[in-house]
Amino acid sequence: MMETQVVTGPNLSTAAKILRDGGLAAVPTETVYGLAADALSEGAVRRIFTAKGRPEDKPISIFVTGIAMAEEFCRDIPPEAYTLAENYWPGPLTLILRRRENVPDVITAGGEGVGVRVPANALTLKLLELTDRPLTGTSANLSGEAPALSGEESLRIFDGRVECVVDGGKCTGGVPSTVLSLMDGHIKIVREGKITRRELEILLGTVVEC
């Protein structure tokens, strides 16, 4: 069984190297801890499914640093996405956009859309910059169980399953991110979370499907 390291802010480069080398890390977000892997590495992403016991027919969203990085992995991005990113990123809003060919099928479960989000956590944003890669953004939990809210809890769940835990203290938990599809000319809520349908309609000036 592998030894899981606990990494703090001053040693974040250690976690970045682990991720670049195909390893896994539990990382903090503004709500819960997530399991991060290099989203462009099929082998690393498949390890996420194994670690969580998650079926591979369920897609995984990815973390990016902003809309410019999202453009590297998404195409046909509509104007509404730029408005939403300007107002809600970093934050609890996942946008489903049409993926580019460089996004592995394992991320999208073979679908054409990929969920992208910018986490509102300084440590994880810095980690994204250090790795210079998109990272998986699935919650740090065994399939069907509640996600971890602290580095200590992440270690308890995934000790020996992942290479490191980035300990950013306690997360707030609460309402998850809102998931909004912007594909094929439609604006549709896939999951209403912290950002409500009404808020989105006011910002965009249009009806949001659900």
* Cβ-based neighbours of 16, under 8 Å, separated by 6 or more: 127, 130, 131
State the Cα–Cα distance between residues 59 and 39, nearest whole angstrom. Answer: 12
The β-bridge partners of 93 are 178
> Domain for residue 39, yes or no?
yes
Asked if the model's pLDDT at residue 2 lies above 90, the reply is no
Distances (CA, A) of 168 to 3, 30, 131, 137, 143: 19, 10, 18, 16, 23
Residue 24: predicted pLDDT: 98
Residue 168: predicted pLDDT: 95
CB atoms within 10 A of CB 26: 32
> Domain for residue 72, yes or no?
yes
> Domain for residue 41, yes or no?
yes
The β-bridge partners of 162 are 159
Q: Which domain holds residue 141?
A: 5-175
> Domain for residue 204, yes or no?
no
* Cβ-based neighbours of 132, under 8 Å, separated by 6 or more: none
Residue 1: predicted pLDDT: 66
> Domain for residue 144, yes or no?
yes
Q: What is the pLDDT of residues 70-123, one digit of tens each?
A: 999 999 999 999 999 999 999 999 999 999 999 999 999 999 999 999 999 999
Contact 64, 120 (CB under 8 A): no
Distances (CA, A) of 165 to 62, 90, 154: 18, 22, 7
Helix (H) or strand (E) holding 51: helix 42-52
* Domains contained in the chain, number: 1
Please give the average per-residue pLDDT across 139-157, as a whole number: 95
pTM recorded for the entire structure: 0.94
> Domain for residue 170, yes or no?
yes
Residue 37: predicted pLDDT: 98
Q: What is the pLDDT of residues 176-204, one digit of tens each?
A: 899 999 998 899 999 999 899 999 999 99
Please give the average per-residue pLDDT across 162-175, as a whole number: 92
State the Cα–Cα distance between residues 197 and 162, nearest whole angstrom. Answer: 36
> Domain for residue 181, yes or no?
no
Q: Tally helices (H) and strands (E) across the chain.
A: 8, 12
CATH number assigned to the domain comprising residue 80: 3.90.870.10
Q: What is the pLDDT of residues 89-101, one digit of tens each?
A: 999 999 999 999 9
